Structure 1
Amino acid sequence: MASPITSSTGLGSGLNITEIVSALVTADTAAKKAQITRQTSNNTAMISGIGSLRSALTAFQDAMKKLNDKDAPSFNAFAATSGNEAVVKVKSSNAAVAGSYDIKVINLATASKVASQSFAGGASTSIPEGELTISQGDNDYKVNVAAGSTLQSVRDQINKELGAKGLSANIVNEESGSRLVIGSTTTGKGSDISVSGIAELEIDGTSKMTGTGAGYITDLAKDAELTVDGLTVKSANNTISDAISGMTLELTGATASGAAGTATKITVAADNDGLKKSVQSFVDSYNTLQKAITSLTTTSRDADDNLVLGPLTNDPTTRSLLADVRKVLSEVGSGDQLTSLSQLGINTQKDGTLEFNTTKFTSAMNDKKLGTEVQQLFTGTNGIFERMNKAIDPYNATDGSLATRKANLDKVAKNLSDQQAALDRRTDSLTESLTKKYVALDTALGKMKAQADQITSIFEAINAQAKKS
């Protein structure tokens, strides 16, 4: 930044040196300063515009990702409900069929839990060195127990080395002593745990624990068992996706026995309201993107009626992006009967936003029975979401064209900053140089004025003397 010029008036000349120097420096630097200011303003606006555009694109892609969540899928033509979620919860996919089913859960799938013999010495009981083998189904897991180990250190070692395998160990202290208890997240018949290799810790997971001896606790691991409309279904897991086509059952409890054991009714019906909500979410997220782009590219008028350009007005990259995105909306999909958004009542308006005609949508669902194809249109292979992301990624990816533009604009900003710093240095240097010259000139004029005054005094003295004589 240029140093301010201290106001001063020449003693010899009476001229305002500060104003003279300032005017000369301004005349020399004004054009360059105006150029840097204008270019910096434009470049800053472009950087801000690119950042806003990327944020809008990311928000739109996040919205599509949420609508395409595999764990909570949108655009399902059917919705399933459970009459008693304390027994069974249910999710339906687009492959479901309208209908109802009676579910009785006889028992849940359980995991194996076994205990070692009881150790009177508690958790600090010494365990001999050796290779401990923990077997479950077809899997054998080895744990090398070092010399000096205790019941507690073995527990910690099992948790550290086999926790990722779904096995966990703990110590339970009962009246007769302490036991090493091993459990598993794996459920189903045949997943019982056995331990061998070190005699003190051997456990036969198929034998019930008695007295102070080792064995399984409570019961063997078993499969879930349920009936669907009286038909028996068994599963090693409590989440079952193949019992009823298009539905996933999550067993949460057993059906009460006796007269109270009424079957839980699962009902599957068309979910037109859910589909409409999902479609509306897509329309809203797209319109938010379109409005963001419009705000960045349109012109306006200021208070003096001067034309004000948006930060991305006439920007070729933004125009290309918008054209690619809009092209996706007009392309024909690969569905059977449903191939375009217009069939669902979605049309592009003059301002580029989408209009969602819910009356036409309802007709497409009820009269034309297009509900089962909505999911394919949006989230299927080569669906709208896939094609939309392919259109946006070349621009918004971390190595996309907008990121490249931003990097180049940052370089321009650095260059302009360097130019401004150089101009400030020139302004300081020129100000100092001109000030010195004008001060020197003022000093010379002062000396000349003093000499002139001295000569004038001499002549005045001579004249005065002459008049006296």
Structure 2
Amino acid sequence: MAGTTITGVGSGFDTQAIVKSLVDAERAPKQAQINLQSQKATTQLSSIGKIQAALDAFRGALTSMGTDSSFSGLTGTSSDEKVATMTANQGASNGSFSLIVNQLAQPSKLSTASFAGGQSTVVNSTDKATTLTITQSGKKFDLSVPAGATLQQVRDSVNSTFGTSGLSANILTDSNGSRLILTSTNGGVGSDLTLSGDSGIDTGYKVVDVPKNAKYVIDGVAAESKTNSISDAVSGVSIKLLSLSALTTPSDTTSTARNAMTISVSTSTTALKSGVKGFVDTYNALLKAMNAETKVTKDAAGNSIAATLTGDATMRTLQSAIRNEFNALSGNGTLKSLAQFGVTTDQDTGALSIDDKRWDKAVVTNAADITSIFSGKTGLLARMTAATDAYAKPATGILATRTASLSESLKTLIKDQTSLDDRITTMQDSLTRKYTAMDTLVAQLRQQSSSILGTLSALSKSQTSDS
């Protein structure tokens, strides 16, 4: 803080200490208030931020669980995963199907003529840019080839310019030089690549691979696909074709008959339990974050220590909203609560856990009820999402509004601190001037007093000597 040092030579008092005491006494109450409010707002802001992050993670997990097959209990299996794999998604149901893979989908692939100078060969030796046009399914992709461009630069330009359109380029080098290899990730019949333009790179290009459709047979019904990933053949099932099915008689070179494999969708209590455990872990993570900011703890001496948000009304209503939905019955099966499947609640922490024995007993006859409890518009996932909507909205939610309010409070406190500092500085300067003036006046009075006393003393001596 600015101020003039007061020595107190004239008065003999420690005027600097007096000014400091007066200033400190004036500052103390308001400073204590600002410090207390700042600390409270800062800690609350941090705690609410942690809970908001945990709540966002919880709601994100609920969304994921609602869109995948977490609670269907269904799992997909393939009798030959070298030929094809499969995944049971939402909407799948129990069943098995025979699958024969007769042909894999294949993208179009082209090769340019060989450049003897390798990948550093200058493919545009003119002083003007040329154009390489790549055409697929009637759509043209024009690539500008700058003057002096090399084969490597053309490769890089194709990948950076048209990579998101499904085109890719590589360079293949052998004893004859280097060739540009163009491939499309968009396969299937009719997706042939062609080259044209005035770059010269298109001259003499060759077709390496002709695009093909995947050909397969499911339960005796032949079908084709432009890709090897099939999602529309069996409801709720994704199939990925990896290789051709084995020939029925490999020794017969004239036969094209191939062995069928089996893809199956079946209920798996293991998969079902994994889905429920995922929910339990997600719920417990949110609960742990909330308890950390609200629960009263004990120190080493046994004294109670309140958390930042202990007793906070917002936290109480949020916890209550979540627990109410968890405890409510739902679904249209025989069993309508997770407690009936052995999901228990810790009385102290509120954390969930799965009683394996009760789970194993209930799931034997009522596995389908799990899906009913969690899924649908009135299922647990949807209800918990709805129950937390008012708290989690990014800009207008209760937590977001609370955060904004605390942030504004901190800004106001910063202004209050600046105002206090300015007022105290003004007060110190004023007191410094007053005590300096007082000290100067006392010094002058002492000087005058000494002068008068000296004169009187001289007169007294003069009168004594005259007599």
Show the counterpart of 1:360. 358
Question: CA separation of 1:302/1:32 partners in 2, compared to 1, >3 Å: closer, same or farther?
Answer: farther
Show the counterpart of 1:288. 285
Matched, 1:328 2:325: yes
Helix, strand or coil at the partner of 1:81? strand
Structure-2 separation of matches of 1:360 and 1:305: 38
8 Å Cα contact 2:108/2:209 also seen in 1:
no
Helix, strand or coil at the partner of 2:454? helix
Offset of 1:76 from its aligned partner?
Answer: 3.5
Show the counterpart of 1:225. 216
8 Å Cα contact 2:325/2:383 also seen in 1:
yes
Offset of 1:159 from its aligned partner?
Answer: 8.4
Matched, 1:29 2:27: yes
State the aligned residue count: 446
The one of 87, 90, 102 equivalent to 2:86 is: 90
Structure 1 vs Structure 2 CA RMSD: 4.6
Offset of 1:437 from its aligned partner?
Answer: 1.0
Structure-2 separation of matches of 1:329 and 1:254: 49
Structure-2 separation of matches of 1:39 and 1:177: 75
Matched ranges for 1:267-278 at <5 A? 268-278=265-275
Offset of 1:109 from its aligned partner?
Answer: 2.8
Show the counterpart of 1:12. 10
8 Å Cα contact 1:5/1:431 also seen in 2:
no
Offset of 1:180 from its aligned partner?
Answer: 9.6
Question: CA separation of 1:222/1:176 partners in 2, compared to 1, >3 Å: closer, same or farther?
Answer: farther
Matched ranges for 1:139-288 at <5 A? 140-141=138-139, 166=166, 184-188=184-188, 190-191=189-190, 193=192, 221-226=212-217, 228=219, 231-236=220-225, 237-244=227-234, 246-257=236-247, 258=249, 264-266=261-263, 268-288=265-285
Offset of 1:88 from its aligned partner?
Answer: 0.9
Structure-2 separation of matches of 1:462 and 1:156: 112
Helix, strand or coil at the partner of 2:366? coil
Show the counterpart of 2:72. 76
8 Å Cα contact 2:296/2:310 also seen in 1:
yes
Show the counterpart of 1:383. 379
Question: Please, which moves more after superposition, 281-290 or 236-245?
Answer: 236-245
Offset of 1:253 from its aligned partner?
Answer: 0.4
Query: Any idea what the Cα deviations from partners look like across 1:172-200, whole Å, max 9, x if unmatched?
Result: 99999999987544444x536487999xx
Query: Any idea what the Cα deviations from partners look like across 1:56-76, whole Å, max 9, x if unmatched?
Result: 212323333454464xx4233
Structure-2 separation of matches of 1:157 and 1:459: 108
| Aligned-partner residue type, residue 16 of structure 1 | D
Structure-1 separation of matches of 2:80 and 2:280: 35
Structure-1 separation of matches of 2:403 and 2:230: 50
Offset of 1:375 from its aligned partner?
Answer: 3.8
TM-score, with length taken from structure 1: 0.75
TM-score, with length taken from structure 2: 0.76
Helix, strand or coil at the partner of 2:310? coil
Structure-2 separation of matches of 1:79 and 1:338: 22
Offset of 1:125 from its aligned partner?
Answer: 12
8 Å Cα contact 1:53/1:293 also seen in 2:
yes
Structure 2: which 5+ runs fail to align?
A: 116-120, 252-257
Question: CA separation of 1:4/1:364 partners in 2, compared to 1, >3 Å: closer, same or farther?
Answer: farther
8 Å Cα contact 1:111/1:191 also seen in 2:
no
Question: CA separation of 1:307/1:363 partners in 2, compared to 1, >3 Å: closer, same or farther?
Answer: closer
Question: CA separation of 1:99/1:178 partners in 2, compared to 1, >3 Å: closer, same or farther?
Answer: same
The one of 427, 432, 436 equivalent to 1:430 is: 427
Offset of 1:287 from its aligned partner?
Answer: 1.5
The one of 25, 37, 40 equivalent to 2:38 is: 40
Helix, strand or coil at the partner of 1:80? strand
Question: CA separation of 1:362/1:220 partners in 2, compared to 1, >3 Å: closer, same or farther?
Answer: same
| Aligned-partner residue type, residue 387 of structure 2 | A
Matched ranges for 1:411-422 at <5 A? 411-422=408-419
Structure-2 separation of matches of 1:443 and 1:133: 95
Offset of 1:304 from its aligned partner?
Answer: 9.1
Helix, strand or coil at the partner of 1:91? strand
8 Å Cα contact 2:110/2:183 also seen in 1:
yes
Show the counterpart of 1:208. none
Show the counterpart of 2:118. none
| Aligned-partner residue type, residue 76 of structure 2 | A
Helix, strand or coil at the partner of 2:222? strand
Question: CA separation of 1:191/1:10 partners in 2, compared to 1, >3 Å: closer, same or farther?
Answer: same
Show the counterpart of 2:316. 319
Structure-2 separation of matches of 1:117 and 1:31: 87
Structure-2 separation of matches of 1:301 and 1:214: 79
Offset of 1:310 from its aligned partner?
Answer: 2.7
Offset of 1:91 from its aligned partner?
Answer: 1.0
Matched, 1:107 2:96: no
Helix, strand or coil at the partner of 2:399? helix
Matched, 1:406 2:403: yes
